[in-house]
């Protein structure tokens, strides 16, 4: 089993609300088709679909006012819209993909997933179907509701299904020593150990400037996966054939997280 998480910044145009990058989605779906059939679970992020709506209504902060209620539903619906584009494309090109809504079977506690029944997802994979999940607005036992990130979901699925590999498809080549867009001598870290990661976390403040957009959160989240013995790979999904090669287990430029 492999788990593939595609970042929202890869599949949507970040600065244009509710706009998918149809060209890149099609190419990535073609790459999945070339690697198909294989036991795979797919998760995608929100990009310009879920995030602006969730932010507008403060969904990630939990329930504070009745005015948020339509926002909770709208956040989910924005993600359904993006998910539909992806699932439709996969079906069109011949991959039997099926949309699985996280908010319909996952409840969080303080924004962390509580153990839930994975039977449906598991049985879909066994049947040769590709379950496509996504970051979603979900009910939360303590805060009323929360935003479940695609990263947390992908990590959790990888651990629970004892996946062999978790692939994060992002819009940079992997984890860098500092922000390559600002620091020209920034180096790609090809292998990042948990110990090294702890060092980065201690540096704390500088990380937000040193590590490219949301990368630290992603790798910190992925810690549980590495500890469970799952290989975690961070690769650039914007580059053609990178996801295809990663799915096939062929060598590819990127960062591998190791124990």
Residues lying near ligand IP8 in the complex (CB under 6 A): 8, 45-46, 50-51, 54, 75, 79, 135-137, 147, 149-151
Which alpha helices (DSSP H) does the chain contain, by range? 8-11, 22-35, 47-57, 69-92, 119-126, 150-160, 194-203, 205-210, 215-227, 242-248
CA distance 228 to 247: 20
Q: How far is the CB of 146 from ligand IP8 (least distance, A)?
A: 10
Least Cβ distance, residue 236 to ligand IP8 (angstroms) = 17
Q: Which residue is nearest to ligand IP8 (CB)?
A: 135
Query: Cβ(64)–Cβ(96) under 8 Å?
Result: no
Radius of gyration for the alpha carbons in the chain, expressed in angstroms and rounded: 17
Question: What is the distance between the terminal CA atoms of the chain, rounded to a whole angstrom?
Answer: 20
Nearer to ligand IP8, 121 or 133 (CB): 133
Q: At what angle are helices 194-203 and 215-227 packed, to 10 degrees?
A: 150
Give least dist CB 203 to ligand IP8, A.
Answer: 23
Chain-centroid distance, C-alpha 104: 18
Q: Closer to ligand IP8 at the Cβ: 36 or 51?
A: 51
Instruction: Between 36 and 48, name the residue whose CB sits nearer to ligand IP8.
Output: 48
Q: Which lies closer to ligand IP8 via its Cβ, residue 36 or residue 140?
A: 140
> Residue 185 Cβ, how far from ligand IP8 at the closest point, in Å?
30
Instruction: Return the number of the residue (51 or 238) whose C-beta is nearest ligand IP8.
Output: 51
Minimum gap (Å) between residue 136 Cβ and ligand IP8:
5
Q: 64: how many CB neighbours lie within 10 A of its CB?
A: 10
Q: Which is nearer to ligand IP8, 36 or 79 (CB)?
A: 79
User: Rounded to whole angstroms, how far apart are CA atoms 62 and 161?
Assistant: 29
The four Cα atoms 228, 7, 74, 138 give a dihedral, to 10 degrees, of 0
Q: What are the C-alpha distances in Å from 209 to residues 73, 177, 181, 196, 204?
A: 34, 11, 11, 17, 10
Q: Which is nearer to ligand IP8, 46 or 254 (CB)?
A: 46
């Amino acid at each position: 089993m492999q788990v593939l998480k595609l970042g929202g910044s890869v599949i949507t145009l970040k600065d244009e609300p509710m706009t998918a990058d149809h060209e890149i989605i099609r190419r990535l779906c073609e790459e999945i088709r070339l690697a198909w059939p294989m036991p795979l679970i797919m998760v995608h992020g929100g990009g310009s679909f879920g995030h602006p709506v969730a932010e507008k209504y403060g969904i990630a902060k939990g329930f504070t006012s009745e005015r948020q209620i339509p926002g909770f539903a709208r956040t989910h619906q924005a993600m359904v819209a993006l998910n539909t584009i992806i699932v439709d494309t996969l079906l069109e090109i011949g991959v039997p993909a099926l949309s699985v809504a996280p908010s319909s079977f996952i409840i969080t506690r303080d924004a962390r997933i509580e153990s839930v029944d994975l039977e449906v997802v598991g049985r879909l994979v066994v049947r040769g179907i590709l379950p496509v999940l996504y970051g979603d607005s979900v009910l939360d036992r303590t805060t009323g509701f929360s935003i479940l990130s695609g990263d947390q979901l992908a990590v959790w699925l990888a651990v629970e299904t004892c996946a062999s590999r978790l692939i994060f498809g992002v819009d940079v080549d992997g984890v860098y020593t500092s922000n390559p867009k600002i620091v020209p001598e920034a180096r790609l870290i090809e292998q990042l150990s948990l110990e090294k990661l702890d060092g980065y976390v201690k540096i704390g403040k500088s990380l937000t400037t040193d590590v490219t957009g949301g990368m630290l959160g992603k790798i910190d989240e992925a810690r549980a996966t590495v500890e469970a013995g799952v290989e975690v790979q961070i690769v650039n999904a914007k580059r053609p054939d990178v996801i295809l090669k990663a799915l096939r287990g062929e060598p590819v430029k990127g960062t591998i997280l190791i124990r």
